[in-house]
C-alpha cells in the first residue's frame, strides 16, 4: 500500500495515516468491502507503533469509513458515510460536554453518567407498562408532581438520612430544572451568587444565562472555603450559595460534618440560601456518609435538588426539589409557566419502580461495580500518568486530574479526542478561563478498557511533554546563538 508519512509534519502520524486511507477509499483505490492490512502489518511496513495505526483505524471507524469484525479483520465499509447531520453550534462548555457525551468514541470518559449496561430494562418495561394502564397516566397531572411518586421519593430520601413529607417535594425536569427554578426565584440579576469552584458546568451555564454575577469559593479538602464565604458575604450580599457537599463535581470531595454545620451557620448569619445539589449522594463508596445539609437545616436555609439521572438513567429526566412549602410555592409558580408539568407516565413508571422495592437492590448491585471502575482507573492513572495529581473520590463517577505545570490542557484534550478518547476539559468547570485539569469519568467502561484509556492518555501526555521540552531546548538554543 502506497503511503507517504512525514515525521517532520505538524500533523500527527496517525492523522496522516487516517487521511491517506480515507483518500484511498474515496478515490476507489480501496473498494467497498475490501480487506485492509492488519494493524501489526501496517505498523511493521511503515515503521509505525501499533498505537498509531490503531488510532487511525479508530478514527476511520468512528467516521464510518471502515468496519472491524473480531476474528475476521478490518474492511472498507460497504456504504460511504454520508456527511454528518448539520447541528446548531451551541456555545458553552455544558453544551460541549453534552455533545461529547453523545459522540461515539472508543473511550467515553466525558459523561458523568451511569452505564447503559446496568440499566434494569426488564424491570423498567414492566413498570412502564403498569403505569400506562393506570387511569390518567397519559394526561397532564398536577404541577407539583404525582402524589405517589412524591411519597416514594420521601421514602427513598430516608436512606439518605433526610426526612421530608411528600408535600415538601416538587417534581422537576431533571435536577437542572430544579436549579433553574431556584436561581430564578431566589436571586436577581443584581444579586451575586456564591459558587464553589471548580464546579458543575450546568450551574455555571445557568447563572451565566440568567445574568447572575458569580463569586468563586475555592473547594478545599474539608469542603468549600469557609473563610472565602465569610469574606465575600461581608463585602457583597449574596443571595444564594451553590454547593455539592456530597461527592463534589468535578473533584469528588466530601464536605466534612463540621464544615457542614459551619455552612448552615454562615447561611443564617449572612442571610443567604444554600442550593444543595445531591445528585451523587447514592453513588457512595464510603462506609460513613454524612447526611445532606438539608437534614440539619433548622431554619429553612437549604433548597435540596437531586435526580435519578445518575442512578437510573439520564433519559428519565426526573429530578426533584425539597424546600419549605413557602419556597416550593414560588418555585411551582415558575415551574408550570415554564413547561406545565413533567411526564406523568414517566413519573408513574418511576413511582412503580420505587414502590416495588427495586431501587435499593439496583444500588447494591451497581455501586460495587462503579467502585471497581474507580479503583481500576485510579491505579491505571497512577501507573501511566504518574506526573499528574489525581483525586480518589469517595463517591460519584469522576476523577479530577491535575496536569503537570506547563502542559496545555486544550492540546491534550484535542489530541485525546482525535484518538477516540473523549473527556471533559478542566476549563469547563470554572467561570473564568483556567487551564490545567481534565475530568475523567469512569462510569461507562470496564476496568480493562479504563486501563487502555489511561495508557493512551499517558502516551499522549508524554508526547506533549517531550515536544514541549524540545521546543524549550530549541528556543534556548536560538535565543543564545552566540554563546
> How would you label 306-333 residue by residue, b for 16+ Cβ within 10 Å and e otherwise?
bbbbbbbbbebbbbbbbbeeebbeebbe
Among 16, 52, 54, 144, binds its own copies (CB under 8 A): 144
Q: Which residue(s) pair with 441 in the sheet?
A: 398
Contacts with 95 (C-beta within 8 Å, 6 or more apart), sequence order: 205
Q: Which is nearer to its own copies, 95 or 367 (CB)?
A: 95
Query: For 258, how many CA atoms within 13 A lie in the half-sphere containing its CB?
Result: 4
Q: Which is nearer to its own copies, 303 or 328 (CB)?
A: 328
Q: Which is nearer to its own copies, 90 or 258 (CB)?
A: 90
Nearest to 248 by CA among 297, 206, 207, 283: 283
Among 37, 64, 161, 166, binds its own copies (CB under 8 A): 166
Q: Does 382 bind its own copies (CB under 8 A)?
A: no
- Which region among 113-121, 267-275, 372-380, 383-391 touches its own copies (by CB under 8 A)? 113-121
Q: Does 190 bind its own copies (CB under 8 A)?
A: no
* Phi/psi at 68 (5° precision): -110, 135
3-state secondary structure of 465: helix
Q: How far is the CB of 330 from its own copies (least distance, A)?
A: 10
* Residues between 145 and 164 with contacts to its own copies, criterion CB under 8 A: 147
Among 56, 60, 101, 366, binds its own copies (CB under 8 A): 101
Q: Which is nearer to its own copies, 180 or 452 (CB)?
A: 180
Q: Which residue(s) pair with 107 in the sheet?
A: 421
Q: 284-287 — which CB contacts under 8 Å span 24+ positions?
A: 284/246, 284/247, 284/367, 284/394, 284/395, 285/367, 285/370, 285/371, 285/374, 285/393, 285/394, 285/395, 286/254, 286/394, 286/395
H or E stretch including 275?
strand 273-277
Q: Which is nearer to its own copies, 344 or 461 (CB)?
A: 344
Q: Which is nearer to its own copies, 42 or 328 (CB)?
A: 328
Among 206, 215, 350, 424, binds its own copies (CB under 8 A): 206
Q: How far is the CB of 407 from its own copies (least distance, A)?
A: 29
Q: How far apart are CA 468 and CA 417, in angstroms?
A: 20
Dihedral, 334, 186, 169, 347 alpha carbons, nearest 10: 40
Q: Which is nearer to its own copies, 16 or 137 (CB)?
A: 137
Q: Does 140 bind its own copies (CB under 8 A)?
A: yes
* Residues between 292 and 321 with contacts to its own copies, criterion CB under 8 A: 313-317
Residues in the chain: 483
Binding-residue total with its own copies (CB under 8 A): 73
Q: Does 81 bind its own copies (CB under 8 A)?
A: no
Q: How far is the CB of 25 from its own copies (least distance, A)?
A: 24
Q: Which is nearer to its own copies, 258 or 315 (CB)?
A: 315
- Which region among 93-101, 220-228, 374-382, 394-402 touches its own copies (by CB under 8 A)? 93-101
Distance of CA 253 to the CA centre of its chain: 15
3-state secondary structure of 162: coil
Per-residue binding letters, 384-413, with its own copies (x by CB under 8 A):
------------------------------
* Residues between 218 and 257 with contacts to its own copies, criterion CB under 8 A: none
Q: Does 363 bind its own copies (CB under 8 A)?
A: no
Q: Check if the beta carbon of residue 172 is closer than 8 Å to that of residue 178.
A: yes
Q: Locate 203 and state its grid cell.
A: 450551574
Among 130, 164, 210, 226, binds its own copies (CB under 8 A): 210
Q: Which is nearer to its own copies, 279 or 390 (CB)?
A: 279
Q: How far is the CB of 383 from its own copies (least distance, A)?
A: 29
Q: Does 64 bind its own copies (CB under 8 A)?
A: no
Q: The cell 476496568 sits on which residue?
A: 447
Percent helix, strand and coil across the chain, each rounded to 5? 45, 15, 40
Q: Which is nearer to its own copies, 44 or 140 (CB)?
A: 140
Q: How far is the CB of 183 from its own copies (least distance, A)?
A: 9
Nearest to 318 by CA among 339, 344, 295: 344
75 burial class (0-12, 13-18, 19+ CB within 10 angstroms)? middle
Per-residue binding letters, 322-351, with its own copies (x by CB under 8 A):
---x--xx--xxx-xxxxxxxxxxx-----
Among 9, 45, 159, 167, binds its own copies (CB under 8 A): 167
Helices 13-26 and 50-62 pack at an angle, to 10 degrees, of: 50
Q: Which is nearer to its own copies, 24 or 283 (CB)?
A: 283
Q: Which is nearer to its own copies, 197 or 332 (CB)?
A: 332
- Which region among 74-82, 91-99, 374-382, 408-416 touches its own copies (by CB under 8 A)? 91-99
Q: How far apart are CA 44 and CA 10, in angstroms?
A: 22
Q: Which is nearer to its own copies, 90 or 158 (CB)?
A: 90
Q: How far apart are CA 175 and CA 168, in angstroms?
A: 16
Among 1, 132, 221, 471, binds its own copies (CB under 8 A): 132
Q: Does 448 bind its own copies (CB under 8 A)?
A: no
Amino acid at each position: 500500500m502506497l503511503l507517504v508519512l512525514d515525521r517532520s509534519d505538524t500533523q500527527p502520524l496517525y492523522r496522516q495515516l487516517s487521511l491517506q486511507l480515507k483518500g484511498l477509499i474515496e478515490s476507489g483505490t480501496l473498494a467497498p468491502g475490501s480487506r485492509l492490512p492488519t494493524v501489526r502489518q501496517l505498523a511493521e511496513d511503515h515503521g509505525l507503533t501499533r498505537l498509531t495505526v490503531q488510532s487511525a483505524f479508530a478514527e476511520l471507524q468512528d467516521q464510518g469509513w471502515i468496519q472491524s469484525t473480531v476474528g475476521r479483520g478490518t474492511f472498507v465499509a460497504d456504504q460511504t458515510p454520508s456527511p454528518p447531520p448539520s447541528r446548531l453550534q451551541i456555545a458553552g462548555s455544558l453544551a460541549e460536554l453534552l455533545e461529547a457525551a453523545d459522540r461515539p468514541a472508543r473511550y467515553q470518559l466525558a459523561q458523568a453518567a451511569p452505564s447503559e449496561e446496568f440499566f434494569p430494562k426488564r424491570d423498567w418495561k414492566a413498570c412502564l407498562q403498569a403505569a400506562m394502564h393506570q387511569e390518567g397516566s397519559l394526561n397532564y397531572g398536577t404541577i407539583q408532581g404525582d402524589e405517589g411518586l412524591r411519597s416514594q421519593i420521601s421514602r427513598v430520601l430516608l436512606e439518605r438520612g433526610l426526612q421530608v413529607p411528600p408535600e415538601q417535594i416538587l417534581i422537576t425536569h431533571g435536577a437542572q430544572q430544579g436549579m433553574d427554578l431556584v436561581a430564578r426565584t431566589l436571586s436577581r440579576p443584581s444579586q451575586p451568587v456564591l459558587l464553589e469552584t471548580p464546579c458543575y458546568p450546568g450551574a455555571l451555564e445557568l447563572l451565566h444565562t440568567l445574568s447572575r454575577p458569580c463569586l468563586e469559593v475555592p473547594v478545599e479538602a474539608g469542603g468549600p472555603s469557609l473563610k472565602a464565604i465569610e469574606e465575600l458575604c461581608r463585602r457583597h450580599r449574596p443571595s444564594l450559595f451553590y454547593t455539592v457537599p456530597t461527592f463534589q463535581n468535578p473533584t469528588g470531595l466530601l464536605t466534612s460534618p463540621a464544615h457542614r454545620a459551619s455552612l448552615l451557620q454562615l447561611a443564617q448569619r449572612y442571610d443567604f440560601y444554600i442550593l444543595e445539589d445531591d445528585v451523587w449522594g447514592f453513588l457512595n463508596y464510603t462506609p460513613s456518609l454524612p447526611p445532606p445539609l438539608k437534614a440539619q437545616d433548622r431554619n429553612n436555609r437549604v433548597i435540596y435538588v437531586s435526580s435519578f439521572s445518575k442512578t437510573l438513567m439520564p433519559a428519565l429526566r426526573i429530578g426533584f426539589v425539597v424546600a419549605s412549602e413557602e419556597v416550593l410555592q414560588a418555585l411551582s409558580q415558575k415551574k408550570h409557566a415554564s413547561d406545565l408539568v413533567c411526564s406523568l407516565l414517566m413519573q408513574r413508571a418511576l413511582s412503580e419502580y420505587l414502590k416495588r422495592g427495586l431501587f435499593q437492590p439496583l444500588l447494591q448491585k451497581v455501586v460495587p461495580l462503579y467502585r471497581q471502575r474507580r479503583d481500576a482507573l485510579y491505579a491505571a492513572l497512577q501507573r501511566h500518568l504518574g506526573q499528574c495529581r489525581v483525586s480518589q473520590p469517595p463517591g460519584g463517577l469522576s476523577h479530577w486530574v491535575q496536569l503537570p505545570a506547563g502542559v496545555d490542557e486544550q492540546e491534550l484534550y484535542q489530541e485525546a479526542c482525535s484518538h477516540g478518547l473523549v473527556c471533559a476539559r478542566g476549563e469547563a468547570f470554572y467561570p473564568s478561563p483556567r487551564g490545567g485539569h481534565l475530568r475523567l469519568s469512569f462510569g461507562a467502561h470496564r476496568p480493562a478498557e479504563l486501563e487502555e484509556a489511561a495508557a493512551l492518555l499517558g502516551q499522549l501526555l508524554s508526547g506533549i511533554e517531550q515536544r514541549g521540552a524540545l521546543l524549550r531546548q530549541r528556543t534556548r538554543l536560538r535565543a543564545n546563538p552566540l554563546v
